[in-house]
Structure 1
Amino acid sequence: MLISGLDQWGLAYTQAFNLEAIHSLTALLGGLRTRLDARQDTLFQQYFEQINDVESDAIDFKVDLRRGIHLALWHAMAACETTEQVHGIVQPLGSMMVALNTQMPELGWRLLADALANIQISLLSDLAPKSPLAQDGTQQLFASLRHALPAERYQTILAHAGQAVVAWQQASRHSAA
């Protein structure tokens, strides 16, 4: 799972920041794989593929991983100083989210709902980016998902994200009281 996670983080960052590669990550992953003998490498490859191919395998890991990737890229977008920089991150982030929905037709929507809920919670918290660029980028992201995803799927994602946000708000009120 560690290698799968590192691989996915690396892919996300290379796409979002227009990098050809993250050389230190490539070296790390290569170094880990070269230590395996042929049998171990075959087993590794089978497990690696299974994590990707079977939606429900390591689902908690997948939720945490995608939440981390999506929120990290969203925060990077929120820190941008120009409209071009915002668009340069929003476009690949939205594409990653749409691709996740396609790659995981049964459970992908839950991962997207989790990510959108956490973005909304960040916006409602004191840690929210206050810049107009960050707000515009967030609106662009939600609009791109609304247009790219089937309407029923998008509404389901928003409904679940909304439930999580309401639960967070209620928990926040109770802990503040």
Structure 2
Amino acid sequence: AWLVSQTFGDKEDVAYAAAPRQRSEKLTLMPSGAAAALVARRHAPGAEWELAPRLAGRAYATLPLPIPTGLPVHLNGRWEIASDRNSLAPEDARPRHEWNLLLASRVCAAAYARLLRELAAGAVFGGGGGGLRLGSAERGEVVHALLPAASAGPGQVFGAAAGGCFSLLLQP
């Protein structure tokens, strides 16, 4: 059972994406992001649910990228990708790298934080008669497993997603 949280940036993110600087660089930026976590699985149809092992998160730009996030969730976003399609835009590609930082720290972080809050509140998976509802102890275990590590994420971008997620979780 996967839990997916999607979000669209606020008016500040939209304004940044539409700024003249971005247009002059011919960037097509969209502040849209998502976080996805594998929470539980079945080994066969009709079998009992069991908590899923920790996931090695990857970056997605609609399709999977060969980029690990260092987080226990997948992050999907309108990333600015390097020409080799094997990494995000490098730090010296200024506006493109700045966009990735904003997308990670604000948009994907918001989706990630909402995913954790939904889990903690008792999200139901699968609906209908075969739905999965985690007990209190299981929810705690899963939320703990999905928290980003303090040093999460290779490089600045995915570390920014972890930091943004923690900042949002600390808000009431």
Query: TM-score scaled to structure 2, two decimals?
Result: 0.40
Between structure 1 and structure 2, the one with the greater Rg is 1
Q: By percentage of residues, which structure has more helix?
A: 1
So what's the TM-score if we normalise by structure 1?
Answer: 0.39
Which structure carries more strand by proportion?
2
